[in-house]
Chains A and B, each alone.
Chain A
């Protein structure tokens, strides 16, 4: 079966929430609450996803093929079987990388113009 994978660039720029979710899932698969916690921890509480924003984003990311729902819990110790876990797809990883590259380029352009110092 062939699936036509869209060009990762076509989804850029990503909504902020989407990129945060991709980043949160980069090192391991997580359930929804864990994603919220991770985003808050990484940003020192500056970015907090509401449940509505999170799941609306996840619903869209599932359709776009950025993330996938896991059939089994990655954490065999987990007590809560109802929890739904999400993981990054390889397409999702490509898109996250593309977005990171886009942001880096933007940043270096800002540096070249002297808008921000070379070392922040």
Chain B
């Protein structure tokens, strides 16, 4: 008997249906065989029988499992094919939901999560701020964002904790170049130190990378795979080719593998050049040496390294900071005051893991993308609720079938497995279609963000895993509701239910109504959020800049890079001004150093005549250099005094304009005209007489208060500007005169790099890219959620009406007119709507504080937006309920009662 029990236990390897069908027979047959074997011999035959039986089980059990799964899938397919409408709606809505989630996740993955395509990325560390880009001139305090080349050399030569250390230009530069002596074209370069490729541990696909053995001034270049394919046709003789840019000609020695883009996510340089060639590439400046006399450092490099074995991050940071601060102490010996020296020395390095590399995109898009993923997740949840509801309705309709199958011996386990097979099948189809959609959506999203951002390819194990996981969760969610329902059906109870299945359907209707309330509750926060963000976008579009932004062209030319020494620049700027002014179609033109909405700015400490700052007062002010008639060109009104004019030249007394904010802060109640403002930086001092006050105007940001600011003449500079930015009023579309203005500048000097030439409106639009992305997508999600909730409500109310046909018939027979019936149905829908809206409003109040920082010109609890969202929701929901209500009102009492 023990043997039989052991054999029986072994049968649990088989799937339950098989075991139930044949288990008893198999045990009986085995026992008889065993009995017979024992009669043959004491050990040999029974042992052979056991061996044979166990082998048989191990071979056949997997086959039986496969068979059961295949059967379930076939059955599910048949069921789904029999209801093509349901299947199509289900697959399509899941495809949309899953697609949106996967698309956004793939961007999050690319921007935030993915590790760099380098050797052992998890071993990489950074000594600088991954979010920093560009160059800073001046002094920083606190945690250092970027390094100078001298600082890097000190670290590289003195440290004992890094096995390798490298630096590279934190931003890529677009420069004009000739490839193999061809026509000039724009390429993107990045300057890198000799240790760059060794530290990243990536060898060249063809040729070689740059290295320390290349000598002090190597004119060598490594190109990207993309550039090789796109520009050089993927030819093998690309190696040895030449790239001439600005003052040097480089020969191509290596081609990188296709996956390699470097250390910064979002950048895709065409070419990597030796940092020692900086003076020839970024002409007109020396960023390889710090100049202690000026107290101004130009920081422009990101630094990466690998730790020696056994060295911890903390040890590395302690040593790196030590070397860095010794360097600072040696550099800032000549600081004019002890306080300044203390400030300058108060800088630290932070060493942090750098597996995901650097990226300016993270700070910009990290939060919006996470927010959008949450919204997309909610939409998917609402879609799931809808489908769950539909599946629940199907489960209810199939109560009888379920009961019959149970009575015929199907066990609950089989039925549950069946439901899950169906829902997983739907989810899988939706997931696969969603993956395809995600690909298209991602491309659309990237287009919406910017054409200049290059992200690595979409398909990646993590994205696929996310899509699969999401599909699985969706499938389980979908299967859950009907399963719970199936478990509740008692075989006999189900059989008793005849015809319209009253008890089960009433239970379903209750559950269905609850689900609709939940859907409405989830939709409202999405709608309110979308409303807030769309209104924010509108507010930003309508921000008063202080001048008209239409018909304004911004053009920037870089004199420093073209090789103009400081003393020659003012004359060049004057000549350029004359040429630009003369271009046909130009109504008025003026210029400044930083220009409008270019992102550049300057700020220093100021002393203002007659103003005594309190201890905690801010002593700094932003400033810019401007040309004559700058504000009248823009159309910013003059409040007092006069504008900067031609007579304010190098030899005349130094003058400045201030804006109203400056006047209010430093001259509260006093007449500022004739008083003086002094700029201070280290030993530098420049005193200007205030000759005019202009109205406040925006210069870089659309949000926040307008900063106090003063403006000095280009001809009386604080530091000689290295570039000039024109503000050009045009008669018609600014785009129409771009070419003419460009030609006018190049006619003065064909080597002048024109780094910017765009309509101001376009530049401001570019600044609102995040706001636009977030507003448009949340609106899309909000509308989707709204429609899904409406479909849910429609389904439940239709079902309710169908169930109550006879009741409605009797009411009508007793004298209720059509209007009354419609009202009755709408009243019921209103209760669901009201419940959902109340719950949704609570959710919205709780969750939308999260997006407060993204809003402009309104608060997260803005009552108007809440009201509009609730009204839209109510209108759409009632429209969805109207259809079944009207159907109910047309019930013919005679037909309904006869049906009864």
Where the two chains meet, the residues of A that have a C-beta atom closer than 8 Å to any C-beta of B are 31-33, 36, 48-56, 58-60, 82-84
Contacts and interface: CB of A to CB of B under 8 A. Distances in A.
B59 A52 contact: yes
A96 to B, nearest CB: 22
A36 B34 CA distance: 12
Nearest to B23: A55
Given A48-B52, A59-B21, A59-B22, A54 B61 contact: no
Contacts of A52: 14, 26, 53, 56-57, 59-61
Given A50-B57, A52-B26, A60-B67, 20 more contacts: A32-B26, A32-B28, A32-B29, A33-B32, A49-B56, A50-B53, A50-B55, A50-B56, A51-B29, A51-B30, A51-B53, A52-B53, A52-B56, A52-B57, A52-B59, A53-B59, A56-B63, A59-B67, A83-B25, A84-B25
A36 B25 CA distance: 12
B75 interface: no
Given A33-B32, A33-B33, A36-B33, A55 B52 contact: no
Contacts of A82: 24, 28
B188 interface: no
A70 to B, nearest CB: 14
A59 B64 contact: yes
B712 to A, nearest CB: 93
Counting contact residues on chain B (CB < 8 A from A), the size range is 20 to 34
Interface in B27-53: 27-30, 32-33, 52-53
Contacts of B33: 33, 36, 51
B774 to A, nearest CB: 57
B611 interface: no
B771 to A, nearest CB: 63
Nearest to B22: A55
Interface string B669-711: 0000000000000000000000000000000000000000000
Q: Most B CB atoms within 10 A — which of A49, A52, A59, A82?
A: A52
Given A48-B52, A59-B18, A59-B64, A54 B59 contact: no
Secondary structure of the A side of the interface?
Answer: helix
Contact of A56 (B7, B55, B64): B64
Nearest to B60: A56
A119 B846 CA distance: 93
A54 B18 CA distance: 13
A33 B63 CA distance: 22
A55 B26 contact: yes
B18 A50 contact: no
Instruction: Give 8 nearest A-B pairs by CB, closest first.
Output: A50-B56, A52-B56, A56-B60, A55-B22, A51-B26, A33-B29, A52-B57, A52-B60
A36 B31 CA distance: 13
Contacts of B67: 59-60
25 contacts: A32-B26, A32-B28, A33-B28, A33-B29, A36-B33, A48-B52, A50-B53, A50-B57, A51-B25, A51-B30, A52-B14, A52-B56, A52-B57, A52-B60, A53-B56, A53-B60, A54-B26, A55-B25, A56-B18, A56-B63, A58-B22, A59-B22, A59-B64, A82-B28, A83-B25
A50 B55 CA distance: 8
Given A33-B29, A59-B64, A50 B52 contact: yes
Contacts of B53: 50-52
B25 A32 contact: yes
B13 to A, nearest CB: 9
Q: Most A CB atoms within 10 A — which of B29, B57, B59?
A: B29
Contacts of A33: 28-29, 32-33
